[in-house]
């Protein structure tokens, strides 16, 4: 019985591990592309999708900035990361 509880506990820890970088990048990119697709002005004047800085550049020097909400995690827990979300834009997006 003790062995099964220990194995179950160890397996449970991995459910909340950080995603591999390629999976997290894919999730972030999908959020950014969905934003672009839902804003025709941004789509029409798109210049750069900067996944590292979480910024979309469009128009004449305009930026759409994304961020993650801070989330409290128990000590030693690294993930999963909060979803990427729209923070602000330096120009009108509509």
What is the residue whose two structure tokens read 């602000």? Answer: 88
How far is residue 66's CA from residue 87's CA, in Å, rounded to a whole number? Answer: 5
Which of the two residues, 69 and 73, has the higher pLDDT score? Answer: 69
The 3-state DSSP class for residue 28 equals helix
| pLDDT (mean) for 47-51 | 98
69, pLDDT greater than 70:
yes
Which of the two residues, 62 and 8, has the higher pLDDT score? Answer: 62
* pTM of the predicted protein model: 0.75
Mean pLDDT, the chain, whole residue set: 84
**pLDDT over 70, % of the chain:** 79
How far is residue 28's CA from residue 55's CA, in Å, rounded to a whole number? Answer: 11
């Amino acid at each position: 019985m003790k062995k099964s509880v220990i194995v179950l506990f160890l397996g449970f820890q991995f459910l909340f591990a950080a995603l591999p970088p390629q999976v997290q990048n894919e999730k972030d990119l999908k959020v950014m592309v969905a934003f672009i697709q839902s804003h025709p002005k941004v789509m029409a004047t798109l210049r750069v999708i900067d996944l590292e800085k979480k910024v979309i550049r469009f128009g004449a020097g305009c930026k759409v900035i994304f961020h993650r909400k801070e989330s409290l995690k128990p000590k030693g827990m690294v993930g999963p990361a909060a979803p990427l979300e729209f923070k602000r834009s330096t120009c009108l997006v509509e």
